[in-house]
Amino acid sequence: MDEQIQNYKSAVEAILFVSEKPVVLDQLKEVFPELKPSQIHDLMVQIQEEYVNRGAGMAVVEIAGGFQMLSDSHAATYIREFYKTKTKEKLSRPALESLAIIAYKQPVGRAEVEVIRGVNSDGTIAHLLNKGLIKITGRKEVPGRPFLYGTTKEFLEYFGLKSMDDMPKIEEFNQLGVDVPTGSVVSAETASSVIASEAKQSFEMEVETSGQESSGQSRTMNTET
């Protein structure tokens, strides 16, 4: 029985290794119909713990409702040196501001984003749509019925978030020196300002645009300051 469990664990590990996207339990259930979802989840947790306990260069991280194998953050500098990566694409400040407003106020229309930012946001919203970080979630019931926007699963993957519950909380804003009264709701104005500046130290994930790995090789999760 122990040998069979090890075989299952090895198979799950291999699937995580070759997958470029987070693997959800429903996908693994189709591969292992003889196992219960709880058993598959236990195998995943065992793999996670084994990597942590031996200080492995890889980590299994719960992201966007699934599990993904990524290179451990402590190895990011060495991997970047190995690939001699020079060019990185980061979200611009306007894009971060618009994305923060949408993330905290969703569903929200373009006009509301522009009122908060004080500038036209057509370009930034179009850019975020093209990157798949936001999506159209419906229409507002007002004259003209403008589109409403919300974040996507790709948003969670991009920032390495398990769910929207992992978004920065009031306490985190206070730690960054932003005065937010206890018990109050974080405003989109505050959120956009923080995420676009100090908070991006812990919230922004860089996208490597050169030296990309092929499918099945290690993927790097990097949250540089």
Q: What pLDDT is recorded for position 41?
A: 92
* Average confidence (pLDDT) over 173-197: 47
Band (218; pLDDT cuts 50, 70, 90): very low
pTM of the complete model: 0.52
Segment 74-125, tens digit of pLDDT: 888 888 788 765 555 678 888 888 998 899 889 999 999 998 888 888 899 9
Segment 1-46, tens digit of pLDDT: 588 888 999 999 999 999 988 999 999 999 999 999 999 999 999 9
| Cα dihedral 68→215→201→156 (10° resolution) | -50
Instruction: Tokens for 80, please give them.
Output: 């970047």
Of these ranges, 126-130, 155-159, 198-202, the one predicted with the greatest mean pLDDT is 126-130
Q: What pLDDT is recorded for position 82?
A: 81
217: buried, middle or exposed (CB in 10 Å: 19+, 13-18, 0-12)?
exposed
pLDDT at 184 over 60: no
Distance CA 169, CA 108 (A): 20
Q: Is 152 left (phi over 0), alpha (psi -120 to 50) or beta?
A: beta
Segment 35-88, tens digit of pLDDT: 999 999 999 999 999 999 998 999 999 888 899 998 888 888 888 788 765 555
Instruction: Tokens for 57, please give them.
Output: 């260069």
Band (134; pLDDT cuts 50, 70, 90): very high
Q: What pLDDT is recorded for position 89?
A: 63
Q: What pLDDT is recorded for position 152?
A: 93
